[in-house]
Chain A
């Protein structure tokens, strides 16, 4: 029994924890921190920055940690496991209202969400969704606010539909099985239904709420106080990655390739599709924080009942890291050489 315990511990340490390879990062003397993300295109700049850091400097400057859903990600942030994370904007705002010292420092992306219905369904406009069941990722997701806004434009309310919460990875199968009538979450899970031939776009974000924001980069206030330089370096890296991704279609295809393979474990074809069809399906420029955008989210959050309105732009953001997006330069990396 003791021998077994020793063996399995040694094997786990070697294979999974890399006990015997970890000395390089330690030796460089830099204290590394963790950044949380979920495998959606809204968080794409996180793995892209890590990958480009590794190409340019030989090693990453932080450890990206992948989660599967927002509850676990939020809990790990609250527990202090990681000082920085990509997170839903209204979720960060709600945490601030509840007294959590969280600060939004940069946007993750713009647009990048769709509402999908089954291709055989008779749903062609918002009004057709009356009485139907719609899946959203989380009550604090911007997708829910987006839906709220689309309902308002169609002169409907939440009471006209049935809304359920579901982890984005489960949504394609739910739509395929017609367990729900419509789904909405970050990409690539929406595009996947299209690629697999059973999903149809009801509308893209840019049609209903141009320049929509769903996820942001947020850090713990203590990290800003204690290590402002590290936060600045992180935000600069993320900002340059956004510019780099949007620099050319080649860069987008490269990003799809290495992120799918090394970080998301998805079929690269899926990310290539999302990042190109159409090219403005999701955008990674113009990501500095603007008061007007957040006031709009705040207003919708209050109207739809997820925010109290007790925290404001100055409370839950720190826009000082990238005050002007136009001066951000893309990473000086040529991309994958084929």
Chain B
């Protein structure tokens, strides 16, 4: 009886804590940022208030929406292509040993090359329109997706396979009904990491002479002289949107099809 009464109360308490803790921590960090800048007497580095003022200024000029849309478009395209290519490629590599042997060394050699190193190549191949940044984002997110899909198939619990074989499943049905669902949680983890990377690369990718995007906003603010408030405003927007994207991908993990793979839990 006591337990029945206490339970909702503690659930409320947990909910309050899950809001209060992150908000409180952010508040403390923002306050120390503000007072840190004030104490240092710097007139170049902005306070959080000035940075938010920068965001408001951009929104009022109509630039904020433009830039956010441009960055989201490039990330959608580059990352979307990477998922379309990376997941099937990883599944094939994980299932067919010869394909793994043939391609894995090349993938591991390309993987550590920073997208920044690809900038000159991207300009030579694609010019400076949208294609070049999309290519950079595609490259950066392709490898985490491929590698995680590959590992997901390779590390799959053998008991699933044996059970499926006992039921006489082979070929495409085996793949669709057992291998893919069993690998999905790990694939989604890979996709989540890759989305983080794709969003991370947007600044570097937009350093190419495109004329829109949050990355461009930062480069442009450097050109504009003493506008470090806009630099930090750009950083804040990238961070906030990154947070939203991560929350969205986390929701993917709640689907039944995905939960199936967490069978052991």
What residues make up the interface of A, taking CB atoms closer than 8 Å to B?
A: 1, 4-5, 8-9, 11-12, 15-17, 36, 39, 65-68, 71-73, 75-76, 78-79, 81, 167, 169-170, 172-173, 176, 188-189, 192, 196, 264-267, 270
Contacts and interface: CB of A to CB of B under 8 A. Distances in A.
Given A5-B80, A65-B128, A176 B44 contact: yes
A231 B70 CA distance: 33
Given A79-B123, A196-B226, 20 more contacts: A8-B73, A9-B77, A11-B73, A12-B70, A16-B211, A36-B209, A65-B211, A66-B211, A72-B207, A76-B123, A79-B127, A81-B128, A169-B222, A172-B225, A172-B226, A176-B44, A189-B225, A264-B224, A265-B220, A265-B223
Interface of B: 44, 65-66, 69-70, 72-73, 76-77, 80, 119-120, 123-125, 127-128, 130, 207-209, 211-212, 219-220, 222-226, 228
Contacts of B223: 39, 68, 169, 264-266
A39 B251 CA distance: 44
B96 to A, nearest CB: 28
B225 A16 contact: no
A12 B209 contact: no
Given A5-B80, A8-B69, A75 B124 contact: yes
A180 B49 CA distance: 30
Contact of B120 (A15, A75, A196): A75
A15 B128 contact: no
Given A8-B73, A76-B209, A71 B226 contact: no
A103 B137 CA distance: 35
A73 B72 CA distance: 25
B76 A68 contact: no
B263 to A, nearest CB: 26
11 contacts: A5-B76, A11-B69, A12-B70, A12-B73, A15-B66, A39-B223, A66-B211, A81-B123, A264-B224, A266-B224, A270-B225
A264 to B, nearest CB: 7
B225 A81 contact: no
A79 to B, nearest CB: 5
A43 to B, nearest CB: 12
A228 B31 CA distance: 62
Given A8-B76, A11-B69, A71 B225 contact: no
Given A75-B120, A75-B123, A170 B69 contact: no
A21 B255 CA distance: 42
A15 B65 contact: yes
Given A4-B76, A11-B69, A75-B124, A267 B225 contact: yes
B48 to A, nearest CB: 20
Nearest to A68: B219
A16 B124 contact: no
A173 B44 contact: yes
A309 B222 CA distance: 36
Contact of A9 (B44, B73, B120, B208): B73
A78 B120 CA distance: 11
B151 to A, nearest CB: 24
Contact of B209 (A1, A4, A67): A67
Given A68-B207, A172-B225, A16 B123 contact: no
Minimum-distance CB pairs A-B, first 10: A12-B73, A81-B127, A75-B123, A169-B222, A16-B212, A11-B69, A15-B66, A67-B209, A79-B124, A169-B223
